[in-house]
Structure 1
Amino acid sequence: MKQASIRVVVRGVILVKGFVLVAQCKGATSTFLPGGHVEFGESLPRALAREVLEEIGLYVRVTYYLGAIEHAWFEADRQRHQINHVFAASLPEIEVPLSLDSREDHLQFFWVQPTDLAQHNLLPIPMGQLVKQYVMGDRTPFFASTL
């Protein structure tokens, strides 16, 4: 039996002209913010920059820390546990929300109005509140847990 562990993940709230970039595994009904797992010895901002470059082939500018969301769920009869560190970020090469091609076959990316995130099943659920807080100009560090 595989030993349980906590995964450290970094996510980016990337806004362009009022739209938020979200990712979705093809065939899934939920979405998530771009980013991914932090590798051993890697800083959180560097991990976000690497993940976005791997996913869509663009350089991201990580600006500041927004907060953390710890999240637990069951998947394939196994308990999962993540700590999501979330940063504000921008794509300097993008001035308007263009269609973005994924460099990872299992992912697709699209732009969503912040008010529509719940309709796109953004996970973990508290992430929508974090994005809303950021979009409204509130820079208070955010924390939530689904445990």
Structure 2
Amino acid sequence: MAFHYVARGLIRDADHILLVRAIGDTMTFLPGGHIEFGESASVALARELSEEASIDAKVGTFVGAAENEWFLDGQLQAEINLIFDVETDLTHQKPVVSNEAHLEFFWVPCGLIDQWNLFPESLRSLIRSNQLPEHTFWGSGIKLKSG
């Protein structure tokens, strides 16, 4: 089993949200990436946004967390995504250019998030509302195991 500890950002402009995916993949994600050992989640998110797309971000309020699991090459993968509200000067009317050849960034209307195969899936309801929750968000894609 592999475990991933990840920081992701809600980067919104009007009724749009910024998503990212590996080129050729069908799954999309909120921008962000792995938290390194000894690094705080907010620092990791700012670093990842800068590295991946030269995004100058002000990492704001902790919104919540989403856990997820999947199989990759027969091995169980699990992750915890820490989600933060992020302020930038980006606008959905201008594309975000990736610094990494394997990634592409794009804006989508929040109301159409279900069409974009966002993972973890539990984030879709959060994005669809285009509002920060009143209380800390918790989402899970982990299947309940008996026993």
Q: Same fold (TM over 0.5)?
A: yes
Gap regions ≥5 residues in structure 1? none
Per the alignment, residue 88 of structure 1 pairs with: 85
Q: Distance in 2 between matches of 1:29 and 1:131?
A: 18
Q: Deviations over 1:127-146 (max 9, x none)?
A: 1112235x234331111211
Q: Deviations over 1:67-121 (max 9, x none)?
A: 00110001111110000000010213x2453111100110000000111111010
1:17, distance to aligned residue in structure 2 (A): 2.4
Q: 1:31 aligns with which of 25, 28, 35?
A: 28
1:24, distance to aligned residue in structure 2 (A): 0.9
Q: TM-score, normalised by structure 1?
A: 0.90
Q: Distance in 2 between matches of 1:132 and 1:67?
A: 16
1:60, distance to aligned residue in structure 2 (A): 0.8
Q: Distance in 1 between matches of 2:43 and 2:128?
A: 25
Q: Establish whether residue 145 from structure 1 lines up as the match of residue 145 from structure 2.
A: no
Q: Establish whether residue 51 from structure 1 lines up as the match of residue 48 from structure 2.
A: yes
Identity of aligned residues (%): 35
- What's the secondary structure of 2:55's corresponding residue? coil
- What's the secondary structure of 1:100's corresponding residue? coil
How many residue pairs get aligned? The number is: 142
Q: Distance in 2 between matches of 1:125 and 1:29?
A: 13
Runs of 4+ in 1 over 4 A off after TM superposition: none
AA at the equivalent of 1:14: I
Gap regions ≥5 residues in structure 2? 143-147
1:5, distance to aligned residue in structure 2 (A): 3.8
